[in-house]
Structure 1
Amino acid sequence: MKQQQAGTMSTMSKEMQDCIDACMTAHRLCEETMSHCMQKGGQAQMQVMRALMDCADMTRTCADMMMRGSDMMTQMCRMCAEACSMCAEACSSMPDDPQLTRCAEACRRCADLCGAMA
């Protein structure tokens, strides 16, 4: 099983590495955007904060599972794509904020790549 798993990982290594990178970028931007929203105070909507928290956790976990070749990686990529899409949508609700716009873009990219991995 380990040989088969390693072979699969090396075959998909570029695609998987791009997805891992996208997950880590989305994770970092979600974390930064949470701080940004907290500094803004009452302007940040709870829906946006929840989406950021969910996405930050999901992207980190998804990247971890891909890096270790987890058997649950495909299911996690599917869930991560959904969390990233929801976060991108929530961040897009404040289009005048450049930080939220950057976060939405990173989350959309991650959703696309995770969706392809799933």
Structure 2
Amino acid sequence: MQKTQKAGQATKMTKEMQQCLEACLTCHNMCEQAMTDCLQKGGGQAEMQVMRAIMDCSEMTRTCADMMMRRSPMMAEMCAMCARACDMCAEACMRMPEAPHLAECADSCRRCAEMCRAMAGAAA
């Protein structure tokens, strides 16, 4: 059975939550930078698939960070979804090894995915 929090009851921001929050915000920033670089570079169909993964990850990490900051009761589920989006983004970015900014984005995504998986498990 999953623990639920009572309406109006805020949970304390733990060290793990703070680390996950920071990982989400860092990942969001890296995705935004990668998108900017990709848009300036232009590209074909492969780049568009990578862009979709980056955009999904960017939005998911921002939303996940927002939910952690307000201690949403849906935070665990969002962290699990965020981890999945980060994994997908990291995989997509690694398909283009000639782009160093995408390798940096993939590293950030992997770290965020790891933190979010831990947070989703801890909150369940």
TM over 0.5: yes
Offset of 1:46 from its aligned partner?
1.1
TM-score by length of 2: 0.86
TM-score by length of 1: 0.90
Q: 2:74 aligns with which of 67, 72, 75?
A: 72
The structure with the largest helix share of the pair is 1
Aligned partner letter, 2:30: L
Matches within 5 A, 1:52-67: 52-67=54-69
Offset of 1:105 from its aligned partner?
0.1
Residue number in structure 2 paired with 1:41: 42
Aligned length: 113
Residue number in structure 1 paired with 2:86: 84
Aligned partner letter, 2:69: M
Residue number in structure 2 paired with 1:24: 25
Q: 1:97 aligns with which of 77, 82, 99?
A: 99
Aligned partner letter, 1:59: T
Q: Extract structure 1 runs of 4+ deviating beyond 4 A.
A: none
Aligned partner letter, 1:94: M
Offset of 1:97 from its aligned partner?
1.3
Offset of 1:98 from its aligned partner?
1.0
Quote the Cα distance in structure 1 between the aligned partners of 2:56 and 2:117: 17
Aligned partner letter, 2:38: C
Structure 2: where are the runs of 5+ without partners?
Answer: 1-5
Quote the Cα distance in structure 2 between the aligned partners of 1:17 and 1:93: 31
Identity %: 62
Quote the Cα distance in structure 2 between the aligned partners of 1:42 and 1:74: 36
Offset of 1:96 from its aligned partner?
2.1
Name the Cα RMSD after superposition.
Answer: 1.3
